[in-house]
């Protein structure tokens, strides 16, 4: 079959080459046709005067002694007899015109587009004229020619005279509407224009008359003024530039005095011109009217949430207070005690303190100290363990100096930590008012502020921490934040949970918020091979989205969606509202250990490129070792969260800084998005709360299915150029139609239109090539489409069936 496509390809260019004329040949052939048409013209014209005389000569064409009266002698008489007498009568003259323009086009090497149309219309005209002359000038049959006469005769036998008249009228209507684009609208517009032109002319005349009456007076006045100006400028004798300006002002003032003479005339002219201008503007406005703004005007902006218009966001009472009602309780005694211990310990090492201040957070209290002049910061930093020992407390962290403050911070855990409930952060005005694309309320900082960040800005998040330190709760906090803020149309989750227990709850919101592979039953992915497929599928989704962004001429998903909502992107071109996709991977270490590069490569690719198109990754791992959090992953995850880890090395692996080893656990975490490290108490949301939320959402009306990701077929599925009909893809026919309609043989087109994965679309393209529908691969260019229209495609399919 490969042979078949090759041979078909090699024959087509040859044919084309043989048909091509050189420029000189075109000139020669063009002029020949033009001259032939001129000869025909004269022959036809003279035929009308000489036909009777020449009639008898027609049978003696070869007799050289006989001479015809036609301007082109025997040839003229014979060809005119054929075209005019036996043909179409006077309408045969149209052929001379058609020949002439065909020759002219060839002569000037103009493109042939539109020529066929002219010939078709020419023939229609010829038939219509000869038929009508055959009907109306029955007594002079030469005008309609034999064709006109016979046609008329034939039709009268069947539809009678009235029928022929009606048929002629219908023909005239077709010609007027299709050829001259003459519709009732055009006619009325023409009359309107004509009317306004006449009235304008009329008014102008009037104006001209009034003007001429006053003109004489005005001219005299003007001349006088000019004289004044001239004498004035001469007297002053100043540089040319200045003279000019002064002349202007001078004349202006003088003219201003002459209200009665100049202004009425000017006003008249303005009044006449204004209505005309207004009319034009309205017309232009209609023409350039943007379809998008009209659609928005008619239907309003596109609302992606409309399909689930009655969707209710989870209510706040689904979340627990966890026993915390009045915020943090301050234990004055504890504060005083800690302060004294810090001062004393530092005194023991001969470090004097000028000032001390305490900020009480939910889990830790920050003591900010200003040391006395001359104390080296490194000295305090080195005393970390000693201070911890003397305070008899775990989890002491010394920040020396606090960035941007010039003080030294000592974080001391509170004896009784206050739980930061998810409820308190969700209800905080900071979260409620957050104008972010993907707002996440992580918890509260040391100064008791709600910490809200935008996942879209991070743009990916790495979470690590030893087991039991609050990672799963952290993940739930992230997902809960998004569930409380986003409509199902705006965000979709891809959940990967190798442990099979952590995220199973979210199954209930599969048809609202989850995305999955087309052929999979469960939306939550627990199987390793499925993980690889899903990651690759997301890469395909990413490529598809980039293609859409490119087509829409925008740089990121936000701009794209704004444009789509404003109805500036046509869904028929494959455009659609793009929800954000948040990929959550729990137990990333497990995956890397078992699948290695197969997982790392697509993740790295997504992490590098997916931010602009709205795919964001959240990766959680228990084991923050370097073979899990590799350099390539770290480089693409600037936002990282460390829960408590067991060693300084782990802390460095996650944060590139130590400190995570000194956390106290239970949701105590460090967050970094570059340089600064912020200590946060993660908001607490437990399993029953999550269950209630997903129950609340899951019980509402949902989409028919989870959001489907593009299909990914493993690398192993080979491609062949066998034109085996039974092996063809199920969507082969649809794909062929898409390609033929668009006349563009590209796999990405099939991908977009039929929502397929890259590999499958690629396979279909190969099958189309094998079937001779598209040409072979041509590098960056789209393949050639060999089938020109749907009818031809239909023929191919029908032939294959036989």
Ligand X SMILES: Nc1ncnc2c1ncn2[C@@H]1O[C@H](COP(=O)(O)OP(=O)(O)OP(=O)(O)O)[C@@H](O)[C@H]1O
In this structure, the chain runs to a length of 802
CB of 428 to ligand X, least distance (A): 16
Q: Which residues contact 447 (CB under 8 A, 6 or more apart)?
A: 359, 361, 366
* Residue written as token pair 């000693």: 386
Percentages (nearest 5) of helix, strand, coil residues in the chain: 60, 10, 30
SS3 assignment, position 585: strand
In the complex with ligand X, the residue whose CB is nearer, 539 or 682, is 682
Residue 518: both structure tokens together: 């087309």
Rounded CA-CA distance 484/431 in Å is 10
Q: Does 304 bind ligand X (CB under 6 A)?
A: no
Say if residue 465 carries a ligand binding annotation.
Answer: yes
Tokens representing 231 are 């004498």
Least separation in angstroms between residue 434's CB and ligand X is 20
The nearer residue to ligand X, 465 or 624, going by C-beta atoms, is 465
Beta-sheet pairing, 639-642 with 668-672: antiparallel
Cβ atoms of 423 and 320 within 8 Å: the answer is yes
To the nearest 10 degrees (0 to 180), the angle between helices 528-552 and 557-565 is: 60
Number of residues binding to ligand X, judged by CB under 6 A: 14
433 labeled binding residue: no
CA 782 to chain CA centroid, Å, is 20
- C-beta neighbour count of 720 within 10 angstroms: 13
Rg (CA), the chain: 44
Name the residue whose CB lies closest to ligand X.
667
Cβ count within 10 A of residue 347: 11
Judged by CB under 6 A, the residue of 468, 571, 688, 714 near ligand X is 468
623 is a contact residue toward ligand X (CB under 6 A)? no
Based on CB atoms, which residue is closest to ligand X, 682 or 785?
Answer: 682
Cβ proximity to ligand X: between 666 and 783 the closer is: 666
CA separation, residue 532 to residues 137, 591, 758 (Å): 84, 10, 15
Nearer to ligand X, 130 or 445 (CB): 445
Burial class (CB in 10 A: 0-12, 13-18, 19+), 321: exposed
Q: Which of 439, 470, 624, 745 binds ligand X (CB under 6 A)?
A: 470
User: Footprint of ligand X on residues 637-676 (CB under 6 A)?
Assistant: 666-667
Please say which residue, 44 or 484, places its beta carbon nearer to ligand X.
484
249 carries a ligand binding annotation: no
Going by C-beta distance under 8 Å and a sequence separation of 6 or more, which residues neighbour residue 793? Answer: 736, 737, 740, 773, 787
In whole angstroms, give the CA distance from residue 30 to residue 99: 10
Nearest-approach distance from CB 610 to ligand X, in angstroms: 25
Q: Is 469 annotated as a binding residue?
A: yes
Asked if residue 374 belongs to a known ligand binding site, the reply is no
The helix or strand, by DSSP H or E, that contains position 496, with its residue range, turns out to be strand 491-496
Q: Return the residues of window 566-585 that contact ligand X according to CB under 6 A.
A: none
466 is in an annotated binding site: yes
Q: Does 469 bind ligand X (CB under 6 A)?
A: yes
**For ligand X, which is the closer residue by CB, 129 or 477?**
477
470 is in an annotated binding site: yes
Least separation, in Å, of the C-beta of 491 and ligand X?
23
419 binds ligand X (CB under 6 A): yes
CA dist., res. 164 & res. 629, Å (int): 88
- Interaction of residue 471 with ligand X, rule CB under 6 A: yes
- How far apart are CB 502 and ligand X at their closest, in Å? 7
The nearer residue to ligand X, 70 or 472, going by C-beta atoms, is: 472
One of 149, 484, 580, 684 touching ligand X (CB under 6 A):
684
Binder among 50, 102, 414, 472 for ligand X (CB under 6 A): 472
Binding-residue pattern over the window 94 to 133 for ligand X, x denoting contact by CB under 6 A: ----------------------------------------
Residues lying near ligand X in the complex (CB under 6 A): 419, 465, 467-473, 622, 666-667, 682, 684
Binding residues for ATP: 465-472
């Amino acid at each position: 079959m490969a042979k078949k496509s090759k041979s078909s390809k090699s024959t087509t260019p040859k044919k084309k080459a043989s048909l091509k004329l050189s420029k000189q040949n075109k000139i020669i052939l063009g002029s020949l046709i033009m001259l032939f048409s001129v000869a025909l013209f004269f022959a036809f014209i003279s035929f009308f005067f000489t036909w009777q005389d020449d009639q008898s000569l027609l049978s003696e064409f070869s007799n050289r002694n006989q001479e015809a009266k036609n301007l082109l002698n025997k040839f003229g008489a014979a060809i005119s007899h054929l075209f005019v007498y036996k043909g179409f009568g006077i309408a045969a003259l149209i052929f001379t015109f058609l020949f002439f323009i065909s020759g002219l086009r060839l002569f000037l090497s103009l493109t042939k587009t539109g020529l066929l149309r002219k010939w078709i219309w020419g023939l229609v005209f010829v038939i219509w004229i000869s038929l009508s002359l055959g009907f109306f000038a029955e007594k002079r049959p030469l005008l309609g020619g034999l064709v006109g006469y016979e046609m008329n005769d034939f039709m009268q036998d069947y539809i009678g005279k009235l029928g022929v008249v009606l048929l002629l009228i219908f023909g005239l209507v077709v010609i007027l509407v299709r050829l001259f684009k003459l519709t009732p609208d055009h006619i009325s517009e023409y009359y309107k224009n004509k009317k306004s032109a006449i009235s304008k002319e009329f008014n102008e005349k009037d104006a001209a008359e009034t003007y001429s009456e006053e003109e004489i007076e005005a001219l005299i006045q003007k001349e006088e003024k000019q004289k004044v100006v001239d004498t004035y400028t001469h007297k002053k004798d100043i540089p040319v530039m200045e003279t000019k300006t002064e002349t202007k002002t001078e004349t202006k003032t003088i003219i201003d005095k002459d209200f009665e003479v100049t202004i009425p005339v000017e006003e008249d002219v303005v009044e006449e011109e204004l209505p005309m201008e207004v009319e034009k503007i309205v017309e232009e406005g209609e023409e350039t009217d943007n379809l998008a703004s009209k659609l928005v005007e008619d239907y309003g902006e596109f609302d992606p949430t409309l399909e689930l218009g009655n969707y209710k966001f989870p209510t706040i009472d689904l979340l627990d207070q966890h026993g915390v009602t009045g915020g943090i309780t301050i234990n004055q005694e504890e504060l005083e005690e800690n302060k004294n211990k810090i001062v004393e310990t530092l005194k023991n090492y001969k470090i004097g303190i000028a000032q001390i201040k305490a900020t009480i957070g939910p889990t830790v209290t920050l003591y900010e100290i200003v040391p006395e002049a001359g104390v080296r910061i490194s000295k305090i930093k080195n005393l970390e363990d000693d201070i911890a020992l003397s305070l008899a407390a775990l989890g002491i962290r010394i920040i020396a100096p606090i960035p941007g403050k010039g003080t030294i911070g000592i974080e001391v855990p509170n004896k009784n930590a206050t739980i930061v409930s998810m409820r308190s952060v969700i209800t905080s005005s900071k979260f409620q008012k957050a104008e972010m694309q993907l707002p996440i309320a992580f918890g509260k900082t040391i100064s008791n502020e709600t910490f809200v960040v935008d996942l879209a800005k991070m743009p990916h998040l790495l979470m690590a921490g030893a087991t039991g330190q609050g990672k799963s709760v952290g993940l739930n906090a992230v997902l809960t934040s998004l569930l409380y803020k986003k409509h199902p149309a705006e965000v979709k989750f891809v959940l990967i949970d190798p442990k099979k227990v952590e995220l199973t709850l979210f199954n209930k919101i599969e048809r609202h918020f989850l995305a999955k592979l087309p052929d999979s039953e469960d939306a939550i992915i627990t199987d390793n091979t499925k993980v690889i497929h899903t990651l690759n599928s997301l890469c395909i989704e990413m490529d598809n989205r980039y293609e859409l962004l490119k087509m829409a001429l925008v740089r990121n998903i936000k701009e794209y969606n704004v444009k789509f909502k404003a109805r500036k992107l046509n869904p028929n071109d494959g455009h659609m509202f793009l929800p954000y996709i948040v990929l959550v991977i729990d137990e990333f270490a497990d995956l890397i250990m078992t699948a290695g590069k197969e997982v790392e490569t697509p993740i790295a690719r997504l992490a590098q490129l997916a931010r602009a198109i709205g795919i964001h990754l959240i990766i959680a791992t228990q084991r923050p070792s370097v073979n899990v959090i590799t350099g390539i992953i770290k480089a693409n995850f600037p936002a990282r969260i460390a829960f408590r880890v067991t060693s300084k090395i782990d802390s460095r692996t996650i944060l590139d800084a130590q400190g995570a080893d000194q956390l106290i656990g239970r949701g105590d975490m460090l967050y970094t998005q570059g340089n600064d490290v912020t200590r946060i108490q993660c908001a607490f949301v437990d399993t029953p709360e999550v269950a209630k939320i997903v129950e609340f959402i899951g019980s509402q009306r949902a989409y028919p299915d989870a959001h489907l990701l593009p299909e990914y077929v493993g690398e192993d599925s080979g491609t062949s150029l066998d034109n085996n009909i039974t092996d063809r893809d199920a969507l082969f026919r649809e794909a062929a139609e898409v390609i033929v309609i668009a006349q563009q043989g590209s796999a990405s087109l099939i991908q977009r239109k039929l929502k397929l994965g890259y590999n499958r679309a690629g396979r279909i393209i190969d099958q189309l090539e094998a079937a001779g529908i598209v040409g072979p691969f041509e590098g960056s260019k789209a393949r050639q489409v060999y089938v020109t229209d749907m009818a031809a495609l239909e023929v191919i399919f029908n032939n294959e069936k036989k």
